[in-house]
Amino acid sequence: MHGQSTEQDFIYVTTQMMTVEMLAKLSDEVGESRSLMVYCRAFRCKPDRFPNLTIKKIPKAVLRKCEWGKDDYSLEIADLPPAPVGEAEQAEAESVPRGKPRREMEAQMRMAFEGEGATNES
């Protein structure tokens, strides 16, 4: 078994084509009290033949983009998201002010509308 979603539900992923015999053996090993989701390249039986198995095909797009047959985590995955910003670049970006304080902004706006020589009379 490759993974587990709950205490009684498991997942199995293979790039093999699963025959009825292979699925029957998996079904027997899983037993009636547990369930197994099987993802495979193809299968040769009706998907609902085994009540404790959920059988799904791996989409061709996934088969093309993933590296199969490796036992480590050094998989090459296409279409990666952009690399995260380095710590130095992020600190620099955060140190740049992103706006002026409200009072300073309000004072500049008053001066622009009233003119530089205007005084604040109360």
Q: What is the pLDDT of residue 74?
A: 66
Name the residue range of residue 10's domain. Answer: 3-65
Q: Is 50 exposed, middle or buried (0-12, 13-18, 19+ CB in 10 A)?
A: buried
Question: Which parts of the chain have pLDDT scores under 50?
Answer: 1, 118, 122
Q: Is residue 93 part of a domain?
A: no
For residue 15, being part of any structural domain is answered with yes
Has residue 11 been placed in a domain? yes
For residue 87, being part of any structural domain is answered with no
**100 located within any domain:** no
pLDDT for position 95: 61
Q: Is residue 101 part of a domain?
A: no
What pLDDT shows up at residue 80?
Answer: 66
58 in a structural domain: yes
| Domain CATH for 20 | 3.30.160
CA distance 111 to 122: 16
84 inside domain: no
User: What was the pLDDT predicted at 122?
Assistant: 45
What integer pLDDT is reported at residue 96 of this predicted model? 54
The number of domains in the chain is 1
